Structure 1
Amino acid sequence: MFNDQSFPPVGFSSQASLDKSQSTANIQTEEIRFQERENQVLESKDVETQTVRQDKNAPHVDYQKLSAFLKRVTPSVLDELDEIYGSTAFDGYDVATGGEPSSSIKLLTKFNTLNEADAETKISCVTWSAGGGTLALSYSAVCHDTWCNHTSSIRIFNFTKEDQFPSTPNRSLEVNSCVTALSYHPVEPSILAAGLFNGDVLVWNLRDDKSSAPLQLSAHGDSLSVVQWRPTLVNGVFPLVTAGRDGYLLVHKLTANFTNVDLYKRFKISKEHNPSEKTRPRSASGRKERAVEPGLCITALNFSTIDQTIFVLGTLCGGLYRCNIDHGTPVEGTVYSSRDTMDPVVDQFERHEGSITSIISSKTCDTFVTSGTDKEIRIYRLSQFNSLHVIGVEDTAIGLSWVVGNSNIFAAYGAGQIIMFYNLENGKNMPEMLLKTNGSETNCLQFNTKRDLVAIGVSKGNLEIWKVPQNMVY
């Protein structure tokens, strides 16, 4: 079925052609044709118009009525002009740049206000006058071991006619003790009040350049911590509120062009005690034991702008109290008659773990801010016991201040050279508004409400004037 069989090989030679076929073809595009046409503009004509000339009658003016009107409105206009004198609303305005003012924080001037012999002295307080054209600053020893035997001074600087801040004072007031509190009158630019370490309260009327004798008010038994003009009138005058480390809060009424003074009210916080010690600390003078008296050192207070009968008071041991200046209960065991000394406390808030260093009240709502030696800044509401926000700070804040131009921004200053800015609504820091002084610490600070300026007393007696434009406030 299957057989083996062999066949001889069959071969063939390959044949490759290297010649390629080629052909040529021509392509002709169509000819492009152009055509030009002329356009004729429309004919225009000029037509002249002739206006009709009419004779205008001169308006009738009743000069007697005009004179009566000017006499009626002139006093009010002059008052308004005096009120806005020194305003810097249009500072930095440049029409060529679209009306955008400068927005940079910058140092205008810095100089040392002390002599070489005053190495152990610091600027304790700064305050601007009501018109914003005068700055008063005071001095105190850096440290007091016992009682104060120093003499001190208050120096007053006025802006020049060229709107420059001078490096030499225009006037100096000598006092017999270190100045611990200083405040210009909120309306009268020539009235200045000071509280001393020895408990004296002095008021000057600087309108008369020849006389520098102050009016002395009822003295406290210890160092003054608060000298503040109450923001509302009582019988046509702004009362002066003072508080000290003797635990007393005094309300003074100055009358007859600030030549007479009456002690209007006397308060003391009878509930305050030191929760960490069995006995209360001795007074700063070392002369009197406080354990026999109710109350403790008052370190800060501020009136509410919503209800100006209400104020918040802070103490040496961290107590925070809501008080009413028109109500109170008698305090027994005080140096003065119990009939005259009242306790104004209405309620109390969550305490700080350290001494209260500053209290400021919001200008638009029932909120206030406190700082303490426990390195905390707290935001409270008058109607709540607990704080809304607690801000931890790296350096102890010894003072707080509202920034001019925005009621929700406040500044905190103290042991460090950096001044921090915070938002009241959320308690957050605002790094875009950072201000760094040239000193190792900030002793005092106050914004000028009429100019975009802030005066800062730093270490070694140096005074710095910074420009902080209002449009920096977001």
Structure 2
Amino acid sequence: MATRVQPRQLCRAGSAGAEALATGGAASAEGPGRPGPLQDETLGVASVPSQWRGVQGIRRETRSCQTASIATAEKAAQTRKHVDAEVQTEAPVPVSVPPTSPHDDPRLAAFLRRVEAMVIRELNKNWQSHAFDGFEVNWTEQQPTVTCLHTLGYPPAQGQGLHVTSVSWNTTGSVVACAYGRLDDGDWSTLKSFVCAWNLDRRGLNPQQPSAVVEVPSAVMCLAFHPTQPSHVAGGLYSGEVLVWDVSNPEDPLLWRTGLTDDTHTDPVYQVVWLPEPRHSHRFQVLSVATDGKVLLWQGVGAGQLQLTDGFALVVQQLPRNAKLKKPPRGETEVGATAVAFSSFDPRLFVLGTEGGFPLKCSLAAEEAALTRMPSSVPLRAPAQLTFSPHGGPIYSVSCSPFHRPSPWPPCSCPTSTCSLCAGPQCARWCLRLLPGKVTCSCLISRKAPRNPQFQSSKPRMKVRSTVWNLIASRLSSWPPATPRAR
């Protein structure tokens, strides 16, 4: 819309103009050359409607934008100050100072001159005396008598006529345990036996009242305390079972047992030994030998069970050729084992005593399979490597010497030497094979037992010197191997 306004000449501002404006121009007079008064004038209005908004309408658009990912980086820095300084000085040279005698030389000389006559007189008396004629000092002589400290026993076992079949000391040396059984019965007796333990360090010791008593359903043939657990003791029974007890728990002492399975010995167990595991030296296994010809390794598992982990069998056909064994009856091919002892320098080597009187050198590392039909859950191997000089009867005890180290010569098939003591009903022998270039089995020393010897159940050796103690026919004897007679 447009408005048109015609131009008019404005009057000069003054009193008259102001008055004329106030009165609307009515009082002003028209004159020549002057415009008339201001008037309102209305002109026509032209309307032009806008078509653009109607055509376009309301339109909305959306726009978006995105920036690139923000890259971040982390860096760390650390300062390190390291200073090494070494100082070495030469060894100080000792200053030689003339030694000064703390004695007063003049006074000492005066004293010696004063007592010289007295000392010479006493020396002459000793030289002329015959009090020590024929006396020779023997620095190795020992006390010939043995003092009995305690006589231990269990009256119920003695009342049944049971025999002491094994004795074992625990690792602390304060507890001694003994096994009761029978040595004169050859049948599968069901008579109960006992395992008794005495704590000799306990105040108020009663020799006839053991500190712990364990009732066993069969005769106990052998015992062996655990090397590190003072209260754990393993035992072998006449029935062929192997059990482990805890003598510190009299209410429930049984820890593990083998049970009567196909893996169990079928003959009496003559000895049990604790052996450390090859991979875990703090864990131990129980090795058992019996007259059925098997040497078995047991490991305690849960639920009080001893599980067979390894086994060996002594078969006549697989013994070394120098073993001149009698021809066994038809069907009997196993050689009964009665004793075992391990080497002090090689834990894989051990010596077995047999019923036939042959000490056998064996190895746990043997790989040859045993030619036996005895049932077993693990493959049985043949451990025998060498046969020593035979005895005249069964070997009841063997012991490897801790004083003879392996041979410096490399024999052909036996890498180490074995010095062992074997005890049987007729003699006790030292057997040593140590010759450069060949392997022999010679008897070094032989000690004959008295006539009509009884069963020999133990033959311990001293750990600090090579002295052997022997118990035969109720007599306790000891001798060093270098002496010609027993003491």
Q: Is the pair's TM-score, using the shorter chain for normalization, greater than 0.5?
A: yes
Shorter-normalised TM-score: what interval?
Answer: 0.5 to 0.7
In the alignment, is the contact (CA less than 8 A) between 2:359 and 2:422 conserved in 1?
no
Deviation readout 1:299-327 (Å, 9 max, x if unpaired)? 11111112221101111111221101111
- CA, structure 1 residues 135+187, in 2 after alignment: closer, same or farther (shift >3 Å)? same
Task: Report matched runs for 1:49-448 at 5 Å.
Answer: 105-115=146-156, 118-162=159-203, 164=205, 166-217=207-258, 219-230=264-275, 234-236=279-281, 237-254=283-300, 261-271=306-316, 278-280=327-329, 291-336=330-375, 340-365=379-404, 366-373=418-425, 375-383=426-434, 384-395=440-451, 396=453, 398-404=456-462, 406-414=464-472, 416-424=473-481, 426=482, 428-431=484-487
Higher relative contact order (CA 8 A, sep 6+): 1
Q: How high is the TM-score relative to the length of structure 1?
A: 0.61
Partner SS state of residue 182, structure 1: strand
RMSD across aligned C-alpha pairs, in angstroms? 3.0
In the alignment, is the contact (CA less than 8 A) between 1:402 and 1:409 conserved in 2?
no
Identity, in percent, stands at 21
Paired letter, 1:201: V
Whole-angstrom distance in 1 between the partners of 2:157 and 2:173: 30
- CA, structure 1 residues 176+161, in 2 after alignment: closer, same or farther (shift >3 Å)? closer
Paired letter, 1:379: W
Deviation readout 1:15-59 (Å, 9 max, x if unpaired)? xxxxxxxxxxxxxxxxxxxxxxxxxxxxxxxxxxxxxxxxxxxxx
- CA, structure 1 residues 121+329, in 2 after alignment: closer, same or farther (shift >3 Å)? same
Whole-angstrom distance in 1 between the partners of 2:191 and 2:146: 37
- CA, structure 1 residues 339+293, in 2 after alignment: closer, same or farther (shift >3 Å)? farther
Whole-angstrom distance in 2 between the partners of 1:307 and 1:163: 43
Whole-angstrom distance in 1 between the partners of 2:292 and 2:230: 30
Paired letter, 2:267: D
Deviation readout 1:253-294 (Å, 9 max, x if unpaired)? 3367x95643221111113799675544xxxxxxxxxx4252
- CA, structure 1 residues 311+145, in 2 after alignment: closer, same or farther (shift >3 Å)? closer
The alpha-carbon deviation at position 220 of structure 1 amounts to: 0.8
In the alignment, is the contact (CA less than 8 A) between 2:233 and 2:245 conserved in 1?
yes
The alpha-carbon deviation at position 247 of structure 1 amounts to: 1.0
In the alignment, is the contact (CA less than 8 A) between 1:389 and 1:427 conserved in 2?
no
In the alignment, is the contact (CA less than 8 A) between 2:221 and 2:270 conserved in 1?
yes
In the alignment, is the contact (CA less than 8 A) between 1:195 and 1:202 conserved in 2?
yes
In the alignment, is the contact (CA less than 8 A) between 1:401 and 1:411 conserved in 2?
yes
Match of 1:67 in 2: none
Partner SS state of residue 267, structure 1: strand
Whole-angstrom distance in 1 between the partners of 2:206 and 2:433: 40
In the alignment, is the contact (CA less than 8 A) between 2:311 and 2:381 conserved in 1?
yes
In the alignment, is the contact (CA less than 8 A) between 1:240 and 1:253 conserved in 2?
yes
- CA, structure 1 residues 234+184, in 2 after alignment: closer, same or farther (shift >3 Å)? farther
Q: Which runs of 5+ in 1 are unaligned?
A: 1-100, 281-290, 432-474
The alpha-carbon deviation at position 114 of structure 1 amounts to: 2.6
Whole-angstrom distance in 2 between the partners of 1:146 and 1:422: 37
Whole-angstrom distance in 2 between the partners of 1:116 and 1:323: 37
- CA, structure 1 residues 423+233, in 2 after alignment: closer, same or farther (shift >3 Å)? farther
In the alignment, is the contact (CA less than 8 A) between 1:355 and 1:372 conserved in 2?
yes
Whole-angstrom distance in 2 between the partners of 1:403 and 1:322: 19
Whole-angstrom distance in 2 between the partners of 1:145 and 1:126: 22
Whole-angstrom distance in 1 between the partners of 2:468 and 2:267: 30
Match of 1:13 in 2: none
The alpha-carbon deviation at position 119 of structure 1 amounts to: 4.7
In the alignment, is the contact (CA less than 8 A) between 1:330 and 1:338 conserved in 2?
no
In the alignment, is the contact (CA less than 8 A) between 1:362 and 1:407 conserved in 2?
no
Partner SS state of residue 194, structure 1: strand
Paired letter, 2:295: L
Aligned length: 318
The alpha-carbon deviation at position 338 of structure 1 amounts to: 9.9
* Higher share in strand: 1
Whole-angstrom distance in 2 between the partners of 1:153 and 1:376: 31
In the alignment, is the contact (CA less than 8 A) between 1:377 and 1:391 conserved in 2?
yes
The alpha-carbon deviation at position 136 of structure 1 amounts to: 1.3
Partner SS state of residue 347, structure 1: strand
In the alignment, is the contact (CA less than 8 A) between 1:149 and 1:177 conserved in 2?
yes
Q: Which runs of 5+ in 2 are unaligned?
A: 1-141, 405-417, 435-439
In the alignment, is the contact (CA less than 8 A) between 1:243 and 1:249 conserved in 2?
yes
Match of 2:38 in 1: none
Paired letter, 1:388: L
The alpha-carbon deviation at position 385 of structure 1 amounts to: 1.0
Paired letter, 2:474: Q
